[in-house]
Amino acid sequence: MSLEALNNLSYGMYVITTKQNQKNIGCFINTAIQITSKNPIIAVSLNKENYTNQILKETRKCAISILTEKASQNLISKFGFFSSKEINKFEDINFQYVDEMPVVLEDVCTYIIGEVIRVIDVETHDIFLIRVLRAENVLDDVPMTYRYYHEKLKGKAPKKAPTYQEEKIGDKGNKYQCSICGYIYDDDKEKIKFADLPDDWTCPMCGVGKDKFVKL
Ligand code: FE
């Protein structure tokens, strides 16, 4: 079986958010599909280890924001590579409360508010069936596809994504990998050797420091 063959399935770029007590929680998702047309229901896949998964099972209500092609790496990284358990992802981004849900509005073309009507256990992930209560357009802009993210922005899939595949590293040579997002710094392709990068250098993908890199 070629796992890479599955890369031809199409996905989008979304952020799912919820609120528990006074805390805003959310994460990046690439899997959100409309299942029914009348009284629409959408399905979202979330890794069981995801904090947002655990909280959504309790709150049963969420917002989904559809990112445009202009969405920043900072926004994608923050929601994709970090946990709401550890950081406040909403600190410096544009969001607004709608129906009590914290809706991300930064580089977003559409948002949806919904309630969880069923959770289906699928091995490592859960599928959340979500009844759409509200869907509004924000910006008349092009939604970003997963392919665009990978090809144009050279983005990586978080380890917990349903579509995650281990990267083929080939000859390890002098390569250093970000332990947060998987970005690889290859001494042989860069002008400056990893060891010579300044102390304040940060991962171009997720923004963490040099200390989060490991030599392959
Ligand atoms: Fe990184």
**Higher local confidence (pLDDT), 118 or 163:** 118
In whole angstroms, give the CA distance from residue 132 to residue 25. Answer: 19
Distance 103 CA to ligand 1 centre (A): 25
pLDDT in the model for residue 181: 86
User: Model pTM?
Assistant: 0.90
Distance 29 CA to ligand 1 centre (A): 18
In whole angstroms, give the CA distance from residue 47 to residue 28. Answer: 11
Structure tokens of 128?
């959340």
Strand partners, 185: 176
**DSSP notation for 152-187:** TS-----TTSTT-------S-TTEEEETTT--EEET
pLDDT in the model for residue 121: 98
Q: What angle do CA 155, 113, 14 make, to 5 degrees?
A: 5
Quick: pLDDT tens for 156-202: 888 888 888 887 766 677 899 998 888 899 999 999 999 999 999 99
Distance 185 CA to ligand 1 centre (A): 10
Distance 57 CA to ligand 1 centre (A): 29
